[in-house]
């Protein structure tokens, strides 16, 4: 646990989320079982005190934590209670008891269907509550490539951005390295379709389409890759494609499907078609030349290497002071 | 005709029917994405069972046909899916879905009982004869668990979807 204090005041007339929540609770008149106000805290610290009581006796017991302790030289590991006043460095040093059939509240699921296992099945399978390795048999893709959509599209990340780029897009060197969406294709597929680095292409799936400049890489033939970081918050349109802003959000093309056990959406895959929209003008795709989007080794030379530039360089002196935990202060 | 061939025939019929039923339900409820995808996946199990039952049946003098491909359903599937998209957002499909899940569960349960009968008949025959024939027991022990998983899936979906569907009528 770490304490993060307020960094800045909310802008303009915006209120902190906690104040909005407390105001809402007061206006709704939420009551507890004894008729008193359900929400009886008024600031972050009193909310934390209430949360501590919820955690008492649970695996993540916080009852021994206080803001005072958290303002010390370091974060504190839970559980932190009367048995472990300074927190717990290592969990489960005596094995794990939570998976025992008498204790656990959930018995697992079928990894293919998501069906819940019953306590009877679980008890016969794992009477001592040990760790289990569960396997799932291979299943074919729910959307296989076909004549109309001959490629497998996979989506993913670039090293230079995190999620929707609300932070990384505002770091000049990171933004310069990967300013816009691109499409990766294998050298073999590019040659077969007479496509080149920098060509504007459209990737379309049964759900939607996007446009980006082509980067020819050593990706496996039959596969296309598009990074998912590029939505519309920093485009003139603001929230979606329009007449002037073509589609570029990779997640709008992927299949509507999820893992039945965990309910995680499959934002990864689709069967896709690739078509040329416009020949490039000699400029490379806006993709980094480092990491997985590196240009194909068999391709034409001439893609300028990605660099941070002078503003990305730092100097460091020999002796850096260490702000680590000091035993005496505890 | 003996107990084993009776069970093999019943299972072949039952698994073929369940495969078709699962595929029809997947099409009818195209807008319920999890139902659509998982029903399609577990239909593959029943199709595989049909293939293996036909294969095993040859050894007992039975000529059981192979199941039709998923791709044979063609026009009918497409019509079902289009209809599903048109009405999918209205409340009535919820009741239809619960009924379909119930019927699928009953179909899988029938198959499960026949797998048990087949396994029992195979063990009895093995005890009575000197010859060891593991073929039927191998078939039952690898297919029956998947049938049980089909049952558990339909049961879990009814439990998960029931509250919202039944309280919003």
**Confidence (pLDDT) at A275:** 98
d(CA A248, CA A285): 14
Bridge pairing between strands A269-278 and A223-227: unpaired
pLDDT tens profile A52-105: 999 999 989 999 999 999 999 999 999 999 999 999 999 989 888 889 999 998
**Confidence (pLDDT) at A330:** 42
d(CA B116, CA A242): 60
Cβ distance of A110 and B152 shorter than 8 Å: yes
**Confidence (pLDDT) at B127:** 82
d(CA A164, CA A230): 6
pLDDT tens profile B110-131: 999 999 999 998 888 878 875 5
| Domain span at B19 | 3-167
**Confidence (pLDDT) at B154:** 98
ipTM, 2 dp: 0.85
Q: What is the CATH number of the domain that holds B14?
A: 1.20.1260
Cβ-Cβ contacts under 8 Å, B48 against chain A: none
Q: Which option is the CATH number for A151-300: 3.40.50.2300, 3.30.110.40, 2.40.110.10, 2.40.40.20?
A: 2.40.40.20
Cβ-Cβ contacts under 8 Å, B142 against chain A: none
Please report how many Cα atoms fall inside a 13 Å half-sphere around the Cα of residue A74, on the Cβ side: 15
pLDDT tens profile A233-245: 999 888 999 888 8
pLDDT tens profile B60-99: 999 998 755 555 556 666 677 777 776 666 657 899 999 9
Which among A115, A116, A257 has the least Cβ separation from residue B37?
Answer: A257
pLDDT tens profile A26-44: 999 999 999 999 998 999 9
Tokens of A70: 């958290």
Tokens of A105: 């509240």
Which residues of chain A are in CATH 2.40.40.20 domains? 151-300
Mutate to test the interface with A, among B104, B143, B153 (most CBs of A within 10 A): B153
B14: number of Cβ within 10 Å: 23
d(CA A274, CA A181): 15
Per the structure, how many domains does chain B have?
1
d(CA A115, CA A19): 41
Mean pLDDT of all residues belonging to chain A: 92
Q: Is the pLDDT of residue A313 over 90?
A: no
Mean pLDDT of all residues belonging to chain B: 89
Phi then psi for residue A185, to 5 deg, are -140, 155
Cβ distance of B37 and A114 shorter than 8 Å: no
Beta bridge partner(s), residue A109: A116
């Amino acid at each position: 646990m770490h304490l993060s204090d307020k960094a800045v005041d909310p802008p303009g007339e915006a209120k902190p989320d906690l104040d909005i929540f407390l105001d809402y609770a007061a206006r709704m008149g939420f009551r507890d079982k004894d008729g008193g106000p359900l929400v009886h805290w008024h600031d972050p610290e009193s909310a934390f005190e209430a949360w501590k009581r919820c955690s008492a006796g649970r695996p993540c017991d916080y009852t021994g934590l206080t803001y005072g302790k958290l303002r010390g030289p370091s974060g504190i590991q839970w559980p932190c209670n009367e048995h472990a006043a300074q927190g717990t460095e290592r969990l489960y040093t005596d094995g794990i008891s939570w998976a025992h059939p008498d204790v656990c509240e959930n018995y697992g699921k079928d990894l293919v269907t998501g069906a819940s296992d019953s306590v009877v099945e679980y008890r016969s399978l794992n009477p001592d509550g040990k760790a289990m390795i569960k396997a799932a048999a291979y299943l074919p893709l729910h959307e296989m490539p076909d004549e109309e959509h001959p490629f497998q599209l996979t989506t993913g990340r670039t090293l230079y951005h995190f999620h929707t780029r609300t932070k990384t897009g505002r770091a000049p060197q990171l933004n310069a390295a990967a300013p816009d969406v691109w499409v990766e294709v294998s050298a073999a597929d590019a040659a077969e379709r007479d496509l080149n680095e920098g060509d504007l292409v459209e990737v379309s799936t049964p759900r939607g389409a996007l446009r980006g400049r082509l980067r020819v890489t050593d990706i496996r033939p039959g596969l296309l890759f598009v990074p998912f970081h590029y939505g519309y918050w920093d485009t003139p349109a603001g929230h979606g494609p329009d007449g002037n802003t073509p589609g570029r959000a990779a997640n709008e093309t992927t299949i509507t499907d999820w893992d039945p056990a965990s309910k995680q959406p499959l934002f990864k895959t689709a069967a896709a078609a690739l078509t040329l929209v416009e020949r490039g003008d000699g400029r490379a795709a806006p993709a980094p030349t480092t990491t997985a989007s590196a240009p194909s080794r068999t391709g034409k030379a001439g893609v300028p290497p990605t660099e941070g530039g002078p503003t990305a360089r730092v100097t460091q002196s020999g002796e850096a002071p260490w702000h680590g935990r000091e035993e005496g202060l505890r | 005709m003996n107990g084993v061939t009776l069970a093999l025939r019943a299972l072949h019929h039952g698994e073929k029917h369940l495969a078709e039923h699962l595929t029809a339900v997947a099409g009818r409820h195209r807008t319920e994405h999890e139902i659509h995808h998982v029903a399609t996946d577990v239909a593959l199990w029943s199709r595989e069972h049909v293939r293996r039952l036909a294969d095993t049946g040859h050894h007992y003098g039975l000529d059981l046909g192979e199941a039709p491909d998923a791709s044979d359903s063609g026009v009918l599937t497409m019509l079902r899916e289009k209809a599903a998209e048109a009405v999918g957002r209205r409340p009535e499909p919820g009741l239809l879905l619960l009924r379909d899940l119930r019927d699928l569960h009953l179909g899988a349960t029938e198959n499960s009982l026949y797998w048990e009968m087949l396994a029992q008949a195979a063990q009895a025959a093995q005890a009575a004869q000197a010859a060891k024939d593991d073929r039927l027991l191998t078939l039952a022990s690898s297919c029956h668990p998947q049938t049980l998983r089909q049952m558990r899936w339909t049961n879990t979906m009814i439990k998960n979807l029931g509250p919202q569907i039944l309280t919003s009528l």
